[in-house]
Structures are given as structure tokens and as C-alpha cells.
Structure 1
């Protein structure tokens, strides 16, 4: 996005063009070999065992090294140095354990999509156990997550990461003489007014991003924070009569809540047996890391100045599915860390567009399917690869994606100056979902 200024005190930007797709599902799915849709509980289980094995090795290593942080074993220059060394050791443990535990979370999420096994009973049993062990109400979230997939990028139907509109934030109404709808021309006076209303200082953006990463997941599950705004305030995944759920899903929500109560009971029992400090460093801090990675990954998959959001008249399933991005998790720290991030989290960030096109493709087949799908999207000029995912990218996106307009059927995020990086290019002709051209 190139920036320039005209002679009348108006900032003008040269926006990128997003070609709104009309690709039939038959074409998107047809390019992927049938063998990649096959699911195997045995194959998927190997990844569960591997993640647990790696976590066990990290725990054993941390415990072993902890025995050396003792004045009788090693002489450090100050008594506090032993405390610092122990904190550093267990901080490393919690980071890596949380990263690989996120991989287990991803497999539980695949169970909710019925992508782990050909058997629905196996999927739901494994998913319930794994997600409950990570503090996730399995069926409750499975149900709303399916709605998210059905309506990704839909302004009034998507379940999470729904953009704030100008009116949501209480911003002044748009003056067509001073700023255009697309966000390509904004008067300097309007830029200043908007910045004063919603602009972030660097410190404020860091604090805001951190609060989002640490508290975003429990806030969403408990009270629908950052979720669909048409739901009543305080809508919860633990309320079986919530408008999120249909009447026939009541028992599933109750079972999910029972799973969480058992999980909480297990935590309190562990604290009683082993002490709070042990449970805190061995399980609770890694659990917070898992929540952090979950929010970081999903936020960056669905939030970027490149991505459109749709109102009902222009929304289709395919458009929503393609309004996401693949990102190399930790790739901003180098190729090795990018590989580790993808390996530990089973590629959920790197293959996300494919996951939205067909969520029943298991993660171990998603890599090859993603390569094939990427070629198809590239031929249509559709962006599918975002910048590497990490804390710096969360900070950038948090500052660049402030609001969308109340008007328009295809909208893009504007920043705190009211400037948007992209504009939509609608297709001249529509195509049906079957791949057969519809006469107009």
C-alpha cells in the first residue's frame, strides 16, 4: 500500500485489490486427491503419543536439571542466583510444554471436525478426553466452532473475531466529503480525529495485545468476548439454553460442562496431593501457554488488513473459507523455529486455508493438500499466505485492524487513521456451487 498526500490536506493511498472469488466447491475440492481425505485413528493416535512423549521428556529433563541448582552441587555468585536459575529453567519448561500441548489441542479440535477417525464415536470420545484435559468444553465449543466454519468472515453469523464497526466504537459518522467509503482518501483532520479516538501508543498496543493473548480464550468461552455481537451480553458456552445452541444440543452442553468440572476437580486434587507450586509450574502455566497459542494462532488466521469480511448479500461458504490466511508459526524467528512451531502444533497455522475448505482432511494430509490448493488459489490471484505468526505480527495486526465500515457488502479493516490497505474487486459473473454456470 503506497501512501501519498494531495495538495488539499487529504491522505491518499494506492490500495491493493482483493479479487472476490466465485470458485465452485467442486473446483476447490476436485483438485485434491481422494486419498488425502482418508482418516485413520491409528495414524492420528501416533501424533498424540508423540506429543505426550515429547512433553514427558521435557518434564524429565527439567526435573533432572533442577537437581543441579543447589549450593551443594554448584557455586553461584549470589543466593538469589539459584532462584533466578530455577525460574529460568521452569520458564523454558512451560514454554515448550505449552507449545507441544497445543499440538494435542489441535488433534482434539480435529476430533470435533470428525477428522481423526472414520468413527463418530471414536472422534467424540477422544476429543472429549483430550479437550476436557485442556479445560475446553468439548461439545459446546465443537458446536459453535462448526458455525464459525459455516460462516467464516460473515459479519452477522461468524462466531468469533468479528470486526468492530465504526458505530460499535462510537466513532463520528463518515463524512463523504472528507473520507471515502473504501478508506483510500482521508482528510488529515479526520485522521487526527480518529487517532485521538482509537489510536494506540506502542506501549498501549503491547498491553492490549498481551491482555488479548492471555485472557481472550477464557473470556470467549465464559462470556462470548470478541464473539458474535448479536448474541445477548454474557452468552456462555456453559449455558445449555444459550442462543448459541439448539434445543437438541442441551445434553451435549451439559456433558461438556461435566467434563470441565471433572477437570477442575482433578486440578484441586493434584494441588492437595502435590502442592500448589508444583501444579502451578508443571501444569497451570503450560495451560496458560496453550490458551495463549490458541488465541495467537486463530487471531492471526482470521485478522489481517488483507482479508475481507462479508455481509449477507455477498457471502458464500467458499468466500468465507478463503478469507483466511496460512502463517508460519514462529517463522519470524528463523526457519528452524518455524519448523518447530509447525511440528509442535501439527501445522494448524500453516494449513489453515485448506482446513476451512475441507475440515475433515486430517492434519498429516493437510500439508500436501495445502500445496495443491495454494496453486489453485494463486491462479485466481487470491492471497493465502500471511506474514509469519508471532508476537510482533500480533502487535502489527492489532494496530492495523481497528474497525470496518457500517456500510458496504465487502469490507476491509481500517486502521486508526481510517485508512484501508485493500479494496474488493467483485466478479462480473456468478457461478453456482455445483460448478455449473448460472445464466443471468
Structure 2
């Protein structure tokens, strides 16, 4: 489908400037959906859920992710750590929130004043959300942004000391994200990216950089949007907590995931793989085409521990991004180190 879309947009004769802008815009959006579907298949390869053959999984995953600018094996290593420590406030790899106490201490303001920061104007929230959607993925790849402070195998990577205080890049073979024996896997990932960059360069020589930007870069940015939005919503919800050392368990942490219905887009373009995220975290080797049946089978057993949301995608993205900023330890909880999201409405009501 990706090839068909690219072939069609290049060969359809378009004389009107308005029509050209409109069609290229539609192409970028549609191709972004297709590219995201390819990204998801590579993700399945990383879990060994694409086929029963590890070599085939890694070959397909490396090719697909390299095409999309993703260091396949590097990401596979840290993503496995994400599955190992999902929901852990300091060891998880993605979308780990800061505590209200941590942020207020850095800013030198009270918790009450910090609470008022949650009430950004719509304009400020919109600007932050756009940056989150466009830059979030590469910020994580290059600087390990949103990872827990104890998520690196090389120790505390210094999340609070600035992005450049430690080598925490997925592209660096000697990054503290990897063990020494994993350096060669990072190099193999980087070779894939170099080949993609070279192919785009040669394509630009044959056509133009504008054509490359329209055919690949714009859909690539749409992939950023979908990838960040999907994973953010699958791991963040105003009612779903995070856990510290004394309370976290593998099962409890992985039940901090949320199933969300992405409608036709999720079922067709994304292969239905993103709608059933809870079962994916409990049993990551289940192929995506069996995830729906597995969810239906296990949902009654999970009972109140099963998290799902049928809220509209854009509404949920806005509300979750606005409300889920920092977490605070629940002092009235039955066990220590249970952290809930600090929200303006609940705090004022309290």
C-alpha cells in the first residue's frame, strides 16, 4: 500500500496549485497511517510475535524499522526493559512521570503553586502538546526523555541533571542504556539507519529534496504523532497509578496499561495490534491477530484490574495530556509507594 500511494501521488497529473496542496496533504496523512502500520509490524517482530522464526523476525524488523528511521535492535533492547518494569516509577523506560515533590523542589515553589501550573491556558497546552507529538519520539531516542532515573543498565542516568549530562542515546553503542556486549547490536541498528539515509540522499539526487520531504519526511512526522499518542494513551490515564519499589510487581505494573479503541484506523491501518494492549503486556509473544480473542478470554478474570477507555481519541489525548503532569504518593493507600496523578479538579475539591 505504501508503494501504491507513493506511485499514485507522483504520477497523477495535477495542474491546480490548490489541488496539489490538498492531494499532497492527504497523501502525507494516509501514508503516515501506512508507515505506522509498518512500524507496528516491526514492533511485533521485536517481540518474536511476527513469526515462529527469530531470524525472520529480526530481519523483517530491522528492515522495516530502519526504513522508518528507528534503530531496531537498540530499541528492542530498551523496549524489553520497558516490558520488564512497566508501571515502575523509577525503572520503567517510557512515560515515567515525575513526582510533584521532585518538580516543586527543582522549581523552588510550593506544591500549591505547582498545582496552579497544571491549569495552563489552552494556547500553552496546545503548544506543549504539538511539541510532545512532533519531538517526543526523537527526544526519547536521543536523550532518553521520559525514562525513569534508574532505567539505564549503566546506573542513574541523571534525568534531573540535564539531557547532555550522560550518554543515554539509542544511537550510541557505548550508551549507558546498553551492556558492553550489546554494542555490536547498536552498530547493526545504526548501519540500517545509514543505509536509509543514503537511499534518501540518492533519491533526492534523482528527484529533489522537496520530493523526498513530501514522500517520506511528512509521513515520517505523522508516524511520530501516532506513535507518541498511541503509546502515551496506552500507559497514561488519570485513574491509573504508578508504583514504587516496595509495592511494584511485574503483574501489578503491567496491569497499569489501558486498552483503547482506535476505531477503523486501529483495526485496518494498525492491524488491530494497538487496541489490546493489556494482553500484550501480560503475554507479549501473543501474535497481534490473536490479541482480541485473548483479551475477551482474560478480561472476566482481571475484573477491576482491567483498564479500558472508550473515550474519543482526540478528547482523551487532550484531557490526559492536560491532567496527567505529575504524581503524588497516596498517603491513605493500603500500601506505600503508590502514586496517583495530581489533578487540579481533585486537588481543589480536596
Sort the TM-score into its range (normalised by shorter chain): 0.7 to 0.9
What do the CA deviations read for 1:89-140 (whole angstroms, capped 9, x no partner)? 1111111111121111111011111111222211111111111111000111
Whether 1:398 and 2:321 are equivalent positions in the alignment is yes
What do the CA deviations read for 1:206-238 (whole angstroms, capped 9, x no partner)? 111111011000111011122223423441111
Counterpart selection for 2:337 from 409, 423, 432: 409
In structure 1, distance between residues paired with 2:61 and 2:312: 26
Whether 1:123 and 2:57 are equivalent positions in the alignment is yes
Q: Secondary structure at the match of 1:411?
A: strand
Tell me which residue corresponds to 2:9.
62
Larger radius of gyration: 1
In structure 1, distance between residues paired with 2:295 and 2:4: 31
- Please tell me whether the aligned partners of residues 155 and 310 of structure 1 are also in contact (alpha carbons under 8 angstroms): yes
In structure 2, distance between residues paired with 1:402 and 1:418: 13
Tell me which residue corresponds to 2:69.
135
Tell me which residue corresponds to 1:182.
none
Whether 1:97 and 2:31 are equivalent positions in the alignment is yes
Q: 1:263 to 1:63 in 2, by over 3 A?
A: closer
Higher relative contact order (CA 8 A, sep 6+): 1
Tell me which residue corresponds to 1:163.
97
What do the CA deviations read for 1:175-220 (whole angstroms, capped 9, x no partner)? xxxxxxxxxxxxxxx4xx3344343111111111111011000111
Q: What 5-or-longer segments of structure 2 have no aligned partner? A: 150-155, 331-335
Tell me which residue corresponds to 1:363.
288
Whether 1:317 and 2:242 are equivalent positions in the alignment is no
Q: What 5-or-longer segments of structure 1 have no aligned partner? A: 1-53, 71-81, 175-189, 330-337, 422-440
Tell me which residue corresponds to 2:144.
224
More helix by share: 2
Normalised by the length of structure 1, the TM-score is 0.71
In structure 1, distance between residues paired with 2:31 and 2:267: 14
Q: How does 1:20-419 map to 2 (within 5 A)?
A: 54-63=1-10, 66-67=12-13, 69-70=14-15, 82-170=16-104, 172=109, 190=112, 193-229=113-149, 230-232=156-158, 233-234=163-164, 235-329=168-262, 338-377=263-302, 380-388=303-311, 390-405=313-328, 408-416=336-344, 419=347
- The offset of 1:420, in angstroms, is 9.9
Q: Which consecutive segments of 4 or more residues in structure 1 shift more than 4 A?
A: 171-174
What do the CA deviations read for 1:352-401 (whole angstroms, capped 9, x no partner)? 11100111011111121111122222xx3124212346333211101111
- The offset of 1:150, in angstroms, is 0.5
Tell me which residue corresponds to 1:24.
none
Q: Secondary structure at the match of 1:381?
A: helix
- Please tell me whether the aligned partners of residues 300 and 389 of structure 1 are also in contact (alpha carbons under 8 angstroms): no
In structure 1, distance between residues paired with 2:8 and 2:197: 27
Q: Secondary structure at the match of 2:326?
A: coil
- Please tell me whether the aligned partners of residues 399 and 416 of structure 1 are also in contact (alpha carbons under 8 angstroms): no
In structure 2, distance between residues paired with 1:306 and 1:420: 17
Tell me which residue corresponds to 1:21.
none
- Please tell me whether the aligned partners of residues 266 and 275 of structure 2 are also in contact (alpha carbons under 8 angstroms): no
**How many aligned residue pairs are there?**
328
Tell me which residue corresponds to 2:152.
none
In structure 2, distance between residues paired with 1:132 and 1:59: 18
Q: 1:294 to 1:420 in 2, by over 3 A?
A: farther
Give the RMSD, CA atoms, in angstroms.
2.0
Q: Which shows bigger deviation, 111-120 or 135-144? A: 111-120
In structure 2, distance between residues paired with 1:231 and 1:222: 13
Q: Secondary structure at the match of 1:312?
A: coil
